[in-house]
Amino acid sequence: MGRKLPTEQDPNPKVYALRLFARNNVIAKSKFWYHLRRLLKTKSAQGQILSVNEVYERRPGNVKTFGIVLKYQSRTGVHNMYKEYRDTTLNGAVSQLHQEMAGNHRASPDTISIIRTVVLNSKDEIRRPRSHLFRENGLKFPILRAANRASQRRYRTVFKANRPNTFKQWEDYDRAHILEWLMFFFVTFSLSLTFLKDFHLFSIHKNLFMLLMLEE
């Protein structure tokens, strides 16, 4: 929060509050005066900073879909963009934004200006198909290849004598999976015995029929 310096003509100047994303207070103040200089023609020498407060997430344990409207300066000009990210906090979503912009567009955080951020609650507000995939019911992320880690630090080594097996072992399955496999094996074995029994009876009836034909 900041304002112009009080004068005789304006003893109570208007207070302006901006929500900015910065690593520390110094960068936050620099960005504040950058925007105020462009909007109100006010320099840092003609104004004062009232307060710099860090805003925390209200519910950091819930996963939310954030929509971010931004613009960034490239070598050819200024470009507007809209991005969507899934994260528990807004700071985490902005961190994902900076990583993606640096990797795909070679844009540094100094050239990125975040215009607006919003939390997308309803399904109609989400635009990106990738964000819709994470809102489906029954979403699972199975571990197909589990890395075997040592239980204690003293057992960890850089080199191994044998190549580790990353596939899930039998002891990794829980009790429900083991019972499911046993039931499947029992049903398959029972059906096999029934089929063999029926085939044996059919062969007996066939032999009796052949004997009756020979007697006739």
CA quadruple 72, 77, 82, 83: dihedral positive or negative?
negative
H/E element, 117: strand 112-120
Work out the average pLDDT over 92-119: 94
Pairing status of strand 47-49 against strand 64-73: unpaired
Q: Where are the domains of the chain?
A: 2-49, 64-133, 142-216
Q: With pLDDT > 70 as the criterion, what percentage of the chain qualifies?
A: 78
Judge whether 172 and 145 are in contact, CB under 8 Å: no
Q: How does pLDDT run across 120-170, given as a tens digit for each residue?
A: 998 899 999 889 888 888 888 877 777 777 888 888 888 878 877 776 655
What is the structure's pLDDT at 147? 72
What is the structure's pLDDT at 215? 46
Question: 7, 16, 25: which is closest to 50 by C-alpha?
Answer: 16
H/E element, 194: helix 175-215
H/E element, 172: none
pLDDT at 91 over 80: yes
What is the structure's pLDDT at 50? 94
Rg (CA), the chain: 34
CATH classification code of 64-133:
3.10.20.10
Judge whether 88 and 57 are in contact, CB under 8 Å: yes
What is the structure's pLDDT at 172? 52
What is the structure's pLDDT at 166? 72
Average pLDDT, the chain: 82
Which two structure tokens, joined as six digits, stand for 167? 């596939």
What is the structure's pLDDT at 64? 93
